[in-house]
A and B are shown apart, each in its own frame.
Chain A
């Protein structure tokens, strides 16, 4: 039991940190421009595929550096020539633009890399067992993922709170006009933040793609969960996104490891008739419910705390 708890906690924190790498960029972009980047998970996917391709040509370390740079550059171009053009048509048009972009990125990836999973593997120099918990070997690559995402997280906090660029970004979040008056190019700050956010998502894609499945549906699978994270954490709240990422990461990891169901719990008392909806609900295990738990959490949070856990604004 202790073994299961330790491994699940490690995996849950890892998954949560990966979610946060994406949710942080999404939150920054949202608080700055008021637009929810629907294509954010697509940049994660783009990062994974670029990482796969570059690591085929040049190895994993160049992929880890180049793929986020390319994806971030594409993000900045999208902001400059796409989002900025539709901005005058309002938030709905912006949201729809990113929706269409997600659509196009998925199709382009299918066009180039196909619909089947890419053969993106853990680099050989990280392919060993780092340590052993009871009888379970914990892979070095997952340890690397965990440490790397924590390092990025700390770097992001330092960037935002300790550097001049970070202060300008923070000021642009709340007082864009005043920052513009002081002589800073606010549209360029927006473009850079969009590029930074998409680059963070791409980093998550490069490191997660090797450990999980790199396929053209990975954005569609992850995207909705990402939105759950930012809504549950509170739109625009970085800390909220952090807490919600870890919460959902742990929730899903622990759910997968559990085979409890209502029928197991109430086995002696009541058994519904086979072939009814109640029977389906009765016999489903928590592991099977795992994929829908984030959405249930979303509905619960919306009923009891509509602004999200740490959210203040009601947009």
Chain B
């Protein structure tokens, strides 16, 4: 009984959370952001069916997302024009079918080989589709894309899905459904075979399975869920354009999944939330925020290959013993983290100041010597004097060495926590 409550409790909790989120963040901008996050969660999880579950690195996952978005836009226009009785909440089914169809079509070519070859084929196919968008104008709509109107469809219980809040609940419902389905797939024997193909395709063949076929099925299913995400994206902004199938979109989902961590199911969800929030918020602070994004990505690859969820899960081992000692143990560890965090922040501030000043001098010399650091008026820096350059450099180098100095503190705190956790047993 307790097992049942635990396994369903998470989903019920998630459903309740999705229901009340618009009441916690009622601003129009936050509802729009949450819509984007919901779409990105489906997209990143579908991507993780390839990278995390089956070990296939795809550089062209946006193809299924984008093509499904176009199919959705065309379907919506067709449904509205002919007055067919299909309400908007069912439209993503067409996106799913489109995603599945293109997943099967391209998957039959690209999943013959795994590893690096698969990665390159996915890239080639993505370029093929993206370049075709300039030729097949009747389907892709050329430069302006295919626009549609979600309020023109059959009304369900009086909802016309004009207001963003109604679209939010549509996206939230589909998001929850897809997340549950994708989680369920990881628990099936097929999901386990995917993991086996990721770990050792040769052994899978010995056991009598065909790794190519497992890859193909996983690829098609990933296409299906990417199709749902693309379909929701088309509904959300009532437009589908060629950039949906482009390399930037494929790169974004790869970044989201990997930054969140591909080794755990929740990883891409965390990644989708973080990447969407960062891409919206960071542009308020800097013109070159994409660069910081790339640096974050490289840092994660170099130092935290399991992503954010991996970093969180590393702390699960301290969560044992009496509840009081669990909390004191983690508090001690976080104390050490804060000691190390201060020099890291100084180092980052110095590095960002230097990068912003280089950008200002190289690109915006017309605006004069003064630069508004992080676009804040109260942080005005004169780039023509030597002091900010020296200060930035000193902060960066000094912060780095101070961080190196605090590292043993963190290491010993980690060790103490580990010993303490082992002593307290289960």
Residues of A within 8 A of B (CB): 30, 34-36, 82, 85-86, 89, 91-93, 95-97, 99-101, 103-104, 107-108, 110-114, 220, 224, 227-228, 230-231, 235, 275-277, 279-281, 284, 288-289, 291-292, 294-296, 298-299, 302-303, 306, 314-315
**Please, how many angstroms separate the alpha-carbon atoms of A222 and B290 in the complex?**
21
**Please, how many angstroms separate the alpha-carbon atoms of A275 and B298 in the complex?**
45
Q: Could you write out 16 A-B pairs with CB less than 8 Å apart?
A: A86-B302, A92-B55, A101-B298, A103-B293, A110-B288, A112-B358, A224-B127, A279-B138, A281-B135, A289-B135, A295-B128, A295-B131, A296-B128, A306-B117, A314-B117, A315-B117
Query: How many pairs of A and B residues are in contact by the CB < 8 Å rule?
Result: 135
A230 cross-chain contacts in B, Cβ below 8 A: 120
Nearest residue (CB) in B for A289 is B135
Task: Tell me whether A100 and B124 are in contact (CB under 8 A).
Answer: no
- Chain B: number of interface residues, binned into ranges: 35 or more
* A97 in complex: contacting residue of B112, B113, B135, B298, CB < 8 Å: B298
A112 cross-chain contacts in B, Cβ below 8 A: 358-359, 362-363
Is B9 located at the chain interface by the 8 A CB criterion?
no
Is B408 located at the chain interface by the 8 A CB criterion?
no
Task: Tell me whether A276 and B301 are in contact (CB under 8 A).
Answer: no
Instruction: Report the minimal beta-carbon distance from B137 to chain A, rounded to whole angstroms.
Output: 6
Instruction: Report the minimal beta-carbon distance from B368 to chain A, rounded to whole angstroms.
Output: 18
Is B21 located at the chain interface by the 8 A CB criterion?
no
Is B407 located at the chain interface by the 8 A CB criterion?
no
**Please, how many angstroms separate the alpha-carbon atoms of A104 and B295 in the complex?**
7
Instruction: Report the minimal beta-carbon distance from B149 to chain A, rounded to whole angstroms.
Output: 20
Residues of B within 8 A of A (CB): 51, 55, 57, 59, 109-110, 112-113, 115-117, 119-121, 123-128, 131-132, 134-139, 247, 251, 254, 258, 288, 290-291, 293-295, 297-298, 301-302, 305, 355, 358-359, 362-363
**Please, how many angstroms separate the alpha-carbon atoms of A296 and B119 in the complex?**
17
A228 cross-chain contacts in B, Cβ below 8 A: 124
Pairs of residues from A and B, 9 with the lowest C-beta to C-beta distance, nearest first: A295-B128, A107-B291, A103-B294, A292-B131, A104-B294, A100-B298, A224-B127, A298-B124, A100-B297
Task: Tell me whether B115 and A100 are in contact (CB under 8 A).
Answer: no
**Please, how many angstroms separate the alpha-carbon atoms of A107 and B301 in the complex?**
18
* A36 in complex: contacting residue of B109, B112, B116, B138, CB < 8 Å: B116
**Please, how many angstroms separate the alpha-carbon atoms of A220 and B59 in the complex?**
13
**Please, how many angstroms separate the alpha-carbon atoms of A114 and B288 in the complex?**
11
Task: Tell me whether B125 and A295 are in contact (CB under 8 A).
Answer: yes
B117 cross-chain contacts in A, Cβ below 8 A: 231, 235, 306, 314-315
Task: Tell me whether A108 and B291 are in contact (CB under 8 A).
Answer: yes
Task: Tell me whether A276 and B138 are in contact (CB under 8 A).
Answer: yes
Q: Given A36-B119, A315-B116, decide whether A104 and B291 contact each other with a Cβ distance below 8 A.
A: yes
B258 cross-chain contacts in A, Cβ below 8 A: 96
A86 cross-chain contacts in B, Cβ below 8 A: 301-302, 305
Besides A82-B298, A104-B295, A284-B135, 8 new A-B residue pairs in contact (Cβ under 8 A), listed by A number: A36-B116, A86-B302, A97-B302, A111-B358, A228-B124, A276-B138, A298-B124, A315-B115
B355 cross-chain contacts in A, Cβ below 8 A: 111
**Please, how many angstroms separate the alpha-carbon atoms of A99 and B302 in the complex?**
13
B136 cross-chain contacts in A, Cβ below 8 A: 277, 280-281
* B297 in complex: contacting residue of A82, A103, A280, A315, CB < 8 Å: A103
Task: Tell me whether A89 and B297 are in contact (CB under 8 A).
Answer: no
**Please, how many angstroms separate the alpha-carbon atoms of A299 and B288 in the complex?**
36
A295 cross-chain contacts in B, Cβ below 8 A: 124-125, 127-128, 131
B55 cross-chain contacts in A, Cβ below 8 A: 92
B135 cross-chain contacts in A, Cβ below 8 A: 280-281, 284, 288-289, 292
* B124 in complex: contacting residue of A97, A104, A227, CB < 8 Å: A227
A279 cross-chain contacts in B, Cβ below 8 A: 138
B134 cross-chain contacts in A, Cβ below 8 A: 288, 291
A224 cross-chain contacts in B, Cβ below 8 A: 123-124, 126-127
**Please, how many angstroms separate the alpha-carbon atoms of A231 and B302 in the complex?**
27
Q: Given A231-B121, A298-B121, decide whether A111 and B295 contact each other with a Cβ distance below 8 A.
A: no
Task: Tell me whether A302 and B109 are in contact (CB under 8 A).
Answer: yes
**Please, how many angstroms separate the alpha-carbon atoms of A95 and B119 in the complex?**
9
Instruction: Report the minimal beta-carbon distance from B252 to chain A, rounded to whole angstroms.
Output: 11
Task: Tell me whether B138 and A303 are in contact (CB under 8 A).
Answer: no
Task: Tell me whether A299 and B112 are in contact (CB under 8 A).
Answer: no
**Please, how many angstroms separate the alpha-carbon atoms of A280 and B302 in the complex?**
46
**Please, how many angstroms separate the alpha-carbon atoms of A284 and B131 in the complex?**
13
Task: Tell me whether B298 and A104 are in contact (CB under 8 A).
Answer: yes
Task: Tell me whether A220 and B294 are in contact (CB under 8 A).
Answer: no
A89 cross-chain contacts in B, Cβ below 8 A: 301, 305
Nearest residue (CB) in B for A35 is B116
Task: Tell me whether A302 and B112 are in contact (CB under 8 A).
Answer: yes
**Please, how many angstroms separate the alpha-carbon atoms of A227 and B60 in the complex?**
14
* B125 in complex: contacting residue of A96, A100, A299, CB < 8 Å: A299
Nearest residue (CB) in A for B288 is A111
Residue of A100, A103, A224 with highest tally of chain B CB at under 10 A: A100
* A114 in complex: contacting residue of B127, B247, B363, CB < 8 Å: B363
B293 cross-chain contacts in A, Cβ below 8 A: 103
Q: Given A113-B362, A299-B109, decide whether A107 and B124 contact each other with a Cβ distance below 8 A.
A: no
Instruction: Report the minimal beta-carbon distance from B98 to chain A, rounded to whole angstroms.
Output: 15
* A235 in complex: contacting residue of B51, B116, B290, CB < 8 Å: B116
B113 cross-chain contacts in A, Cβ below 8 A: 306, 314
Instruction: Report the minimal beta-carbon distance from A228 to chain B, rounded to whole angstroms.
Output: 6
B305 cross-chain contacts in A, Cβ below 8 A: 86, 89, 93
